[in-house]
């Protein structure tokens, strides 16, 4: 669940350590003029079991149609209100919350995701890298030529004219290349959607929505248009694909999608906005879902409890309603009651990594018994196998420390430090663990971390940490 009391957000997505990464759909079109990508891209990511599970069910058939292996952990929800989606190295797929909230129905969302999968199958990530490298080299050459001509003529305006002319030509070439890639991804999306018995009308409608917004706001206001060039030819192609499709267009958003839109908007927007979107006169389940969250954010816990309790009465086995109830308790500082709700949630959805992480954090926030600590350690180890996160390793280190297992605490802390980009800290923690460890299995784990540090950071002298 999106929340603010206990940090469930894994805010650092490390798309590669010591590696420059390219993100299709996020690189500004002028980036090749002075491209210097950070070694570690930082994006605000929301972890929410309900939304991630829905997206997985929606996109998995598209991956299957594309012949790609599916990994739910490679789908990320970006906390950004703009209309955008993009893919990155390693076939990671990112969807903005703005897209999730503002799409009219699941068919639109599926169309956008199918388009992004088209970028993956088209090899556009690697091709973009090569193209930008070529652009950088050409841009550098134009600057060298401009400098030489300017020096020969003694006129700075000559150098500027040559350089600007070259850059304009490069930009035009790059834009044409991007339009070609977007059309290629469109074509692939149509194929994937057809295999999934889905009309491409959703993709067309979403593009028209973007086009309309772009007309109202201007191109510079719309991230998606800057990164996904949209032409009239592409719109015409999609219109023809819709006419040729034998599948019926599903215009209505399904109930699960309506709930997700309500939940995300309630957590991310101001309560006033939420009540405008979902007034108290609206008694639908999605509306009441949003209202309960909005009342919680207003610290009106009585109304928040009343609404969520009414929803639980209708659907007693809905883990996401119990999750909101637990969140309300946490906002009130009622840790024991929140633990009870999560105990029920884990019965309803056992072995769910995100719920295990949340439960562990709540238990560790109190004064856990020895039995509870062992339960937390077991749950966190299970969760980290299914979903390795920096937050999970931090919690595991804390649990081991409170359980009096200092060697394992240092081991988990080293895993956390490595993921946070602190290899030297991790090496010190490995040495601390080695001084007290007696389990040969732990020794192997420690050596594995050391080897990964060596591979990722060959410049570090390990002798300093022996």
- Can you give the pLDDT at residue 333? 92
Assess whether pLDDT exceeds 60 at residue 157: no
| Number of domains the chain contains | 2
Candidate from 13-27, 66-80, 197-211 with smallest mean pLDDT: 13-27
| 137 and 31 together in one domain | yes
pLDDT band at 100; cut points 50, 70, 90: very high
> For residue 277, what are the contacts with CB-CB under 8 A and spacing of at least 6?
262, 265, 269, 290
Contact 115, 124 (CB under 8 A): no
| pLDDT of 150 | 44
Domain boundary among 349, 367, 394: 349
Reading across the β-sheet that carries 85-88, which strands appear in turn?
Answer: 23-24, 85-88, 92-96, 75-78, 45-46
What mean pLDDT comes out for the span 40-68?
87
Q: What is the mean pLDDT of residues 81-89?
A: 82
Q: Is the confidence at residue 440, as pLDDT, over 60?
A: yes
- Residue 155: its pLDDT value, please? 40
Residue 263: what pLDDT? 97
pLDDT at position 123 is 67
Give the pLDDT band (50/70/90) at residue 147.
very low
Q: Residue 159 domain-assigned?
A: yes
Same domain, residue pair 130 and 279: no
Q: Is the same domain home to 140 and 211? A: yes
If asked whether residues 229 and 298 sit together in one domain, one would say no
Bigger pLDDT: 218 or 416? 416
Residue 164 — very low, low, confident or very high, per pLDDT cuts 50/70/90?
Answer: very low
Backbone torsions φ then ψ of 190, nearest 5 degrees = -60, -40
Same domain, 92 and 178: yes
Q: For the chain, give the secondary structure using H, E and C.
A: CCCCCCCCCCCCCCCCCCCCCCEECCCCCCHHHCCCCCCCCCCCEECCHHHHHHHHHHHHHHHHHHCCCCCHHHEEEECCCCCCEEEEHHHEEEEEHHHHHHCCCHHHHHHHHHHHHHHHHCCHHHHHHHHHHHHHHHHHHHHHHHHHHHHHHCCHHHHHHHHHHHHHHHHHHHHHHHHHHHHHHHHHHHHHHHHCCCCCHHHHHHHHHHHHHHHHHCHHHCHHHHHCCCCHHHHHHHHHHHHHCCCCCCCCCCHHHHHHHHHHHHHHCCHHHHHHHCCCCCCCHHHHHHHHHHHHHCCCHHHHHHHHHHHHHHCCCCHHHHHHHHHHHHHCCCHHHHHHHHHHHHHHCCCCHHHHHHHHHHHHHCCCCHHHHHHHHHHHHHHHHHCCCHHHHHHHHHHHHHCCCHHHHHHHHHHHHHHCCCHHHHHHHHHHHHHHCCCHHHHHHHHHHHHHHHHHCCCCCHHHHC
Buried b (16+ CB within 10 A) or exposed e, 412-426: bbbbbbbbbbebeeb
Tell me the C-alpha distance between 101 and 97, whole Å. 6
In the prediction, which pLDDT does 17 show?
33
In this prediction, residue 234 carries a pLDDT of 82
Higher pLDDT, residue 155 or 406: 406
Q: What is the pLDDT of residues 294-348, one digit of tens each?
A: 999 999 999 999 999 999 999 999 999 999 999 999 999 999 999 999 999 999 9
pLDDT at 126 over 50: no
Residue 145 has pLDDT above 80, yes or no: no
> Does residue 195 register a pLDDT over 80?
yes
With respect to residue 378, please indicate whether it lies within any of the assigned structural domains. Answer: no
Among residues 309, 300, 302, the alpha carbon closest in space to that of 274 is found at 300
Instruction: Give the domain range for residue 288.
Output: 269-349
Q: What pLDDT is recorded for position 217?
A: 57
Q: What pLDDT is recorded for position 214?
A: 65
- If asked whether residues 60 and 183 sit together in one domain, one would say yes
- The predicted-structure confidence for 252-297, as pLDDT tens digits, reads as follows 668 999 999 999 999 999 999 999 999 999 999 999 999 999 999 9
Residue 217, domain member (yes or no): yes
pLDDT attached to residue 45: 87
Most distant CA atoms of the chain, gap in Å? 83
The answer, yes or no, to whether residue 201 has pLDDT greater than 90, is: yes
Model pTM score: 0.77
Q: Tell me, what CATH number does 336's domain have?
A: 1.25.40
Of 349, 382, 407, the residue that ends a domain is: 349
**Region 408-420 average pLDDT:** 95
pLDDT(48) > 50:
yes
Question: Residue 26's pLDDT is what?
Answer: 29
Higher pLDDT, 401 or 366: 401
């Amino acid at each position: 669940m999106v929340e603010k009391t206990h940090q469930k957000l894994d805010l650092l997505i490390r798309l590669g350590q010591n590696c420059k990464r390219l993100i299709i759909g996020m690189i500004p079109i002028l980036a090749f003029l002075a491209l210097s990508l950070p070694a570690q891209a930082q994006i605000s990511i929301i972890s929410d079991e309900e939304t991630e599970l829905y997206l997985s069910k929606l996109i998995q058939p598209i991956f299957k149609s594309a012949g790609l292996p599916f990994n739910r952990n490679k789908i990320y929800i970006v906390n950004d209100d703009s209309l955008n989606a993009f893919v990155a190295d390693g076939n990671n797929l990112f969807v903005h919350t703005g897209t999730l909230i503002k799409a009219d129905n699941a068919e639109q969302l599926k169309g956008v995701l199918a388009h992004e999968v088209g970028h993956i199958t088209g090899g556009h990530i690697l091709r973009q890298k090569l193209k930008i490298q070529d652009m950088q080299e050409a841009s550098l050459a134009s600057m060298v030529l401009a400098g030489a001509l300017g020096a020969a003529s003694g006129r700075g305006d000559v150098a500027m004219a040559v350089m600007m002319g070259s850059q304009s030509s490069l930009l035009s070439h790059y834009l044409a290349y991007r339009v070609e890639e977007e059309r290629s991804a469109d074509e692939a999306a149509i194929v994937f959607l057809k295999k999934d018995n889905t009309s491409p009308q959703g993709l067309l409608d979403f593009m028209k929505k973007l086009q309309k917004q772009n007309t109202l706001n201007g191109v510079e206001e719309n991230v998606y248009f800057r990164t996904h060039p949209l032409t009239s030819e592409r719109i015409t192609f999609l219109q023809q694909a819709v006419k040729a499709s034998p599948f019926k267009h599903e215009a209505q958003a399904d109930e699960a999608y309506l709930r997700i839109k309500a939940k995300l908007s309630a957590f991310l927007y101001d309560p006033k906005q939420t009540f405008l979107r979902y007034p108290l006169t609206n008694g639908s389940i999605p509306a009441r879902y949003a209202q309960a969250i909005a009342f919680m954010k207003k610290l009106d816990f009585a109304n928040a409890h009343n609404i969520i309790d009414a929803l639980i009465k209708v659907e007693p086995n809905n883990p996401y309603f119990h999750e909101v109830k637990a969140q309300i308790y946490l906002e009130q500082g009622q840790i024991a009651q929140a633990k009870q709700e999560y105990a029920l949630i884990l019965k309803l959805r056992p072995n769910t990594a995100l719920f295990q992480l949340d439960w562990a954090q709540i238990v560790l926030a109190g004064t856990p018994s020895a039995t509870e600590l062992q339960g937390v350690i077991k749950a966190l180890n299970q969760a980290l196998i299914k979903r390795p996160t920096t937050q999970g390793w931090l919690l595991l280190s804390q649990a081991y420390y409170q359980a009096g297992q200092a060697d394992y605490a240092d081991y988990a802390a080293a895993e956390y430090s490595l993921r946070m980009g602190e290899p030297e800290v991790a090496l010190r923690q490995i040495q601390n663990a080695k001084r007290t460890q007696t389990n040969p299995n732990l020794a192997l784990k420690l050596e594995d971390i050391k080897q990964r540090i060596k591979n990722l950071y060959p410049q570090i002298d390990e002798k300093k940490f022996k």
